[in-house]
């Protein structure tokens, strides 16, 4: 509310400034010693004042230099005499000229002075009961204060100082309110960026797959930036009615009903038009955002596959695709620009058309059109149109765009999240993280699935169907099957990404996951392996040695401190796979889910990784007694697996040891 109070003061000061300036100009019209002298009129024996430039015209032969010296005009005595006469009239309960609406018409030279003085500084001793003896002690102080205010209001020096102080204070209120509003917008933008980032980390795999990359980029680059300017002018919406009433009152003192016609006409030309344009602008803004999402998504995919595009010389076809998407976006932006041009044009003709209406009303009422009426009226309308035709349209349009951005961010925040402990009416995933590093002698299995049915969508076709399997602690489970059989979906279900619809899945221990497609971020190789965990030198060196990365570190220019590019582009495919595997192994867990980590490496490197890391004589089995779930197509490693599960079409076809499956005449070559 303090920001709104500052804006209210700024608007109030801007409205009062023309009144102070007009009163100051009136003071400059008073006669001064240097510019006027008194001359005796020979016809009627009266003393009048004329400028020195008119003296040669008024010189008569009978007028001597001694006469002129005696007739020098004393400005101070003249003004004090006029003020004393005015106070005598007030004390006699007679309305002063120009101070009463129904009184006599004031003298032309005193009209502005008297009217403005009684309007802004009325006689404050009258309402306190001057005749009451109980307030007699305060009457002197009140009279002195009233005399001081009256003197200051009719003194050029006081008015000049007041004009400067009001201007400085108005600048202070304007700039500080603008700064505070911009800080609020910056805080909102930063908070929304943080919300989007945290939401991205909590999104389920299903929601992430349905969210285009262009949509995310547009949210973080375009939508949140609308919040910086969306609420800078919002306080002018409620300040406008107060300013309109105050401005109408100031103009009413001179032209009465013409003031109402002008102010109401100005508001009718701005508020309804700008409100309708803001609604239309918000609709077009939503269309522009959707087209921008499509265009940014296409550009993101194009940049990711730029090597393939260059290799096959597909530049022109993709240039045409991007051009079509851009034309659709520009078409919507053009309509938004038309609307913006309409409400920007209202800033030009609003003041002039309003002044024309007010002057026409004065002519109809029979009032004389003079400069002392037109110019103050134009100044008041100019200040009012600053709020009504500039700040109010900006507040409405920018606010509408900000609300559209907020709706888009809210829509993104409402997407499905990953549930760390999902539950369903018929069962669900149950995790017991306290049972870490279970030994082989424990009676509690590391993973147990009982009739689990899971699916990404609520459809009749299920991803996993009646999956039942039990894995003892410290054992190696090999999951094999044809492409698209559901092997990776089984791991996603154990991670809690794939929703369980029926059955129960129990996991005793914490989980570390190695993905099928290695993902690296921009940073050093060491940071990609640590992935935010504290650096343990002995464990780190052991993991690097077992994952066959020591030789690679010797070849890199800066060893494990070499900075990899975006998505690890400076490393080969096998190096990225081994760094991803080392990241999963470095995480000290009791259960490791490894999704085909051997597919991207050579045969001899794959054998080294299986023997040193995954197999029964590897690092995970000997040092940590960890349970390993390995999805693989390398069937020659199945002999060393403790348990084998064959999946086809989302169902477990058969399971058992290698000997049992071999005796059952299972053809591993077809898998």
- Length of the chain in terms of residues written: 671
Cβ proximity of 618 and 611 under 8 Å: yes
> Residue 632 in 3-state DSSP?
coil
Q: Quickly tell me which residue has 């943080």 as its tokens.
A: 194
> Which pLDDT score is estimated for 28?
74
Confidence class for position 72, pLDDT limits 50, 70, 90: very low
- For Cα atoms 69, 73, 75, give the angle at the middle one, nearest 5 degrees: 150
CA distance 253 to 230: 38
Q: For the chain, give the percent of residues with pLDDT over 70.
A: 79
Show me where the domains of the chain are located: 156-414, 473-485+510-662
| pLDDT tens digits, one per residue of 43-68 | 444 444 444 433 443 344 444 444 44
Q: Between 2-28 and 371-385, two packed helices, what is the crossing angle to 10 degrees?
A: 160
For residue 33, count other CB atoms closer than 10 A to its CB: 11
Summarised one tens digit per residue, pLDDT across range 626-649 is: 899 999 888 888 888 889 999 988
> In terms of Cα–Cα distance, which of 582, 429, 439, 574 is closest to 491?
429
pLDDT band at 322 (very low <50, low <70, confident <90, very high): very high
Higher pLDDT, 210 or 40: 210
Range from 280-284, 348-352, 416-420, 469-473 carrying the lowest mean pLDDT: 416-420
How far is Cα 568 from Cα 349, in angstroms, rounded to an integer?
A: 59
**Contact (Cβ atoms closer than 8 angstroms) between residue 514 and residue 613:** no
Q: How far apart are CA 353 and CA 356, in angstroms?
A: 5
Q: How many CB atoms lie within 10 A of CB 541?
A: 11
Q: Lowest mean pLDDT of 189-203, 344-358, 430-444, 496-510, name the range.
A: 430-444
- Residue 107, SS3 per DSSP: coil
Q: How far apart, in Å, are the Cα atoms of 508 and each of 156, 430, 444, 448, 587?
A: 88, 8, 8, 9, 17
Is the pLDDT at 483 greater than 90? The verdict is no
Q: State mean pLDDT over 543-555.
A: 90
Domain range 156-414, CATH class: mainly alpha
Q: pLDDT tens across 136-176, in order?
A: 556 788 877 888 888 888 888 888 888 899 889 988 888 88
pLDDT band at 71 (very low <50, low <70, confident <90, very high): very low
pLDDT in tens, 371-413: 778 888 888 888 888 888 888 888 888 888 888 889 989 999 9
Please give the mean pLDDT across all residues of the chain.
78
| First-to-final CA distance of the chain | 70
Sign of the torsion angle spanned by Cα atoms 88, 93, 94, 98: positive
Contact between 578 and 548 under an 8 Å Cβ cutoff? The reply is yes
In whole angstroms, how far apart are CA 338 and each of 360, 392, 623? Answer: 32, 18, 70
Fold exhibited by the domain 473-485+510-662:
Rossmann fold (3.40.50)
- pTM above the 0.95 mark? no
Lowest mean pLDDT among 24-28, 174-178, 417-421: 417-421
Average pLDDT over residues 454-462: 79
Q: In the beta sheet, which residues pair with residue 648?
A: 651
Question: What is the mean predicted confidence (pLDDT) over 499-520?
Answer: 87
How large a percentage of the chain has pLDDT more than 90?
A: 12
Structure tokens, 669: 């070559």
Task: Give the range with max mean pLDDT: 120-134, 349-363, 436-450.
Answer: 349-363
The per-residue pLDDT for 227 is 87
3-state secondary structure of 405: helix
Q: In what order do the strands lie in the sheet with 476-480?
A: 511-514, 591-595, 627-631, 476-480, 643-648, 651-656
Is the confidence at residue 283, as pLDDT, over 60? yes
């Amino acid at each position: 509310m303090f920001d709104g109070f500052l804006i209210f003061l700024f608007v109030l000061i801007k409205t009062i400034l023309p009144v102070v300036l007009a009163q100051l100009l009136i003071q400059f019209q008073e006669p001064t010693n240097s510019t006027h002298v008194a001359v005796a009129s020979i016809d009627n024996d009266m003393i009048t004042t004329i400028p020195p430039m008119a003296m040669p015209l008024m010189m008569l032969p009978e007028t001597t230099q001694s006469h002129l010296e005696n007739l020098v005009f004393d400005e101070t005595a003249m003004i004090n005499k006029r003020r004393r006469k005015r106070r005598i009239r007030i004390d006699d309960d007679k309305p002063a000229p120009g101070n009463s609406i129904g009184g006599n018409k004031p003298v032309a030279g005193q009209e502005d002075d008297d009217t403005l003085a009684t309007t802004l500084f009325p006689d404050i001793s009258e309402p306190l009961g001057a005749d009451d003896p109980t307030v007699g002690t305060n009457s002197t102080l009140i009279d002195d204060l009233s005399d001081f205010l009256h003197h200051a209001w009719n003194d050029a020096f006081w008015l000049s100082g007041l004009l400067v102080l009001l201007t400085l204070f108005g600048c202070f209120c304007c700039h500080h309110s603008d700064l505070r509003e911009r800080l609020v917008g910056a805080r909102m933008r930063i908070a929304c960026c943080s919300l989007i980032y945290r939401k991205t980390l909590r999104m389920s795999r299903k929601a992430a797959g349905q969210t285009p990359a262009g949509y995310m980029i547009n949210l973080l680059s375009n939508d949140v930036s609308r919040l910086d300017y969306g609420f800078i002018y919002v306080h002018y919406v409620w300040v406008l009615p107060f300013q309109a009433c105050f401005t109408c009152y100031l103009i009413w003192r001179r032209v009465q009903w013409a003031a109402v016609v002008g102010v109401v006409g100005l508001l009718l030309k701005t508020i309804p038009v700008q409100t309708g344009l803001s609604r239309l602008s918000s609709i077009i803004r939503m269309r522009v955002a959707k087209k921008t999402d499509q265009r940014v998504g296409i550009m993101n995919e194009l940049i990711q596959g730029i090597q393939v595009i260059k290799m096959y010389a597909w530049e022109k076809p993709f240039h045409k695709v991007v051009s079509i998407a851009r034309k659709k976006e520009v078409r919507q932006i053009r309509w938004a620009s038309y609307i913006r041009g309409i409400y920007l044009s209202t800033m030009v003709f609003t003041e002039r058309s309003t002044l024309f209406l007010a002057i026409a009303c004065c002519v109809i009422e029979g009032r004389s059109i003079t400069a002392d009426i037109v110019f103050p009226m134009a100044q008041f309308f100019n200040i009012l149109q600053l709020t009504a035709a500039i700040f109010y349209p900006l507040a409405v349009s920018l606010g509408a765009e900000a609300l559209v951005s907020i709706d888009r961010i809210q829509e993104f925040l409402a997407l499905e999240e990953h549930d760390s402990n999902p539950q369903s009416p018929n069962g669900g995933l149950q995790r017991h993280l306290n049972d870490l590093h279970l030994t082989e002698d424990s009676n509690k299995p590391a993973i147990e699935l009982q009739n689990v049915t899971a699916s990404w969508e609520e459809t009749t076709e299920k991803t996993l169907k009646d999956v039942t399997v039990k894995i003892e602690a410290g054992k190696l489970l090999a999951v094999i099957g044809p492409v698209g059989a559901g092997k990776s979906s089984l791991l996603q279900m154990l991670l809690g990404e794939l929703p369980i619809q029926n059955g129960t899945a129990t996991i005793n221990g914490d989980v570390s996951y190695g993905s099928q497609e290695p993902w690296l971020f921009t940073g050093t190789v060491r940071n990609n392996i640590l992935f935010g965990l504290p650096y343990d030198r002995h464990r780190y060196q052991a993991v690097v040695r077992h994952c066959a990365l020591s030789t690679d570190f010797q070849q890199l220019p800066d060893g494990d401190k070499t900075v990899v590019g975006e998505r690890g582009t400076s490393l080969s495919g096998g190096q990225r796979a081994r760094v991803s595997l080392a990241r999963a192994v470095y995480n000290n867990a009791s259960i490791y889910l490894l999704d085909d980590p051997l597919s991207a490496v050579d045969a001899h490197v794959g054998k080294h990784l299986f023997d040193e890391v995954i197999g029964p004589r590897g690092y995970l089995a000997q040092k940590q007694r960890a349970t390993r779930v390995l999805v693989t197509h390398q069937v020659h490693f199945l002999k060393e697996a403790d348990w084998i599960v064959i999946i086809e079409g989302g169902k477990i076809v058969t399971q058992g040891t290698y000997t049992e499956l071999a005796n059952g005449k299972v053809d591993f070559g077809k898998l």
